[in-house]
Structure 1
């Protein structure tokens, strides 16, 4: 298996790069396993060799299972986990790159994923994510919105999309913008990684359970055979630990983060971060600052605006906005940086992207405005407005399919 080396400010993250369009389905190796165990439903992301990458097939299966079980009176508790050492490393960058010369080659999977994200956030049954390892980008969208999300000492979270000319998506312009202070801007712009303890402290996960106890917890939840939130919470708490943050955790640097990432523009954020980096005891800023300066100027500006808008938007509004941003970015409406970023980091691996424009002050606000413009109404992502129709709006019933 090839892997993408996804450069972020705090290090190198490896992502699988098996293109969705070229997947080979092995009959005895389903991408997603759905099990019905009395009143419990268990979803296993089942591509461990590929870090449980989210493909078009995975999105379709997840949507199928979740709709079926929400409507099933016998289903009370939904568990989701990943096989192997990862929960999910997210979507596939190479898929986007392979489709760069074909008009809207990824539109269907993008539409389906953002539509699914709404239903995960608003699901009517009790959900528990058992997150044993990597949970990044779109993969983290299967963890963070759950009623209960259990992480371990091996869990690694990040949203590093801005560094390659993309933006934080899958509902994260909503999630990150609602974190305390300006932590959301910090995570979105730097791609900084958080461990399990930090995820609980930041409110992005609910419980920390040692990895060795996770299989036993899963068995107990299955034997509980109930979706009663108090009972589920009590069961998880039997296994969970109250962990103290490491002394050098970025979450202990919150005053500096809030001061720097509250600035009005990306340029001012970087300038403020530089000033703090020169002070004694702030060596932790160096790698993050280096990553910021290496990132796509266009990606950074789009991401900052998206997070800032997210503070005043509902979840449906954020998802509709993210759909527009994704499609406009993939259509190279104002820049082809996303393809250049993927090329430099995953195709040629020269780690020397040539951004266009190359510097922040050449990315005009009027250009950024273009990717945020609403689509014609029938071409927007369809988020159902009425509860009785909440599973309407599927891609196959959209103007795109027709």
Structure 2
């Protein structure tokens, strides 16, 4: 078995950008310059224990583009106008960054954030994007929050239980689908740059749109590795023809959906699998046990009411499923897991439980604020036995 110290030397101690963003956050509040010791202390107060050499390296590598050395062991932040004019850094305000356990949360546009990250710095991606893009536009999320529905279908109540709104994927037209393809091609291109060779990229989808997601992301240079099937009964499908349900009472327009596809992609390997594992720590899935490999059919259940109460996000996935999935994506159990569409924070909470470093990006300010509290609470949720 590979020596653990060798593995640690491959991976960064914190997700990419965390130290730099903490330095920027601290220096942006300073009127002048600060010593390396003061900067290091400020970074530690934000993200936990880090080595002084890491701080010095970030300062040195990003000078004079972002930081200016004012004297021996002293630095200051260049003006935002200067750094942005050079296109070197998009400075985030302190309130747009949070740290919960091993997770770092950003309130930002994921494409902007990805553009600002170094190549080969993320070891796995697990995400549930807005694959019905219309649903997560500002106009439609405002309708959802006000209870007016918009393109969110309000299903009927059964047995006295209130049903959560569901996205109506079937209303997408040809232009919407073309825009969806462009969106996922752009996402695949951005992820292919920051992901290390052999990185697993798992993207939640649905049976109506998974072919668009897979095709667009494969065209960006990622390899399609198949699909993971989350076996779960949903509220989609099974309905009789609209406004003709009595005439055709024995017809369902679509089958009742009982599975959710996750598109499984991988950044091309650097050599053989064994070479990639030795160099990058990626290139496969972590086995469930010595005699049981990770499988592509995962029995699941709808998200429990307790978890939805903690994080009332319309696409929240259950922790039992997410912990099973997230654990598997890092074959050697070390690295950084990215969720560029963090939502309620279920991926980050799962990463905290299994002991992985993670980064979550969320554009919507309300969802970001939700995740700042829900990640810790979801981390502490006790679930029944994993799938």
Which TM-score bucket, shorter chain as reference?
under 0.3
Q: Tell which structure's C-alpha radius of gyration is larger.
A: 2
Higher helix share: 1
- TM-score (structure 1 length as normaliser): 0.25
Higher strand share: 2
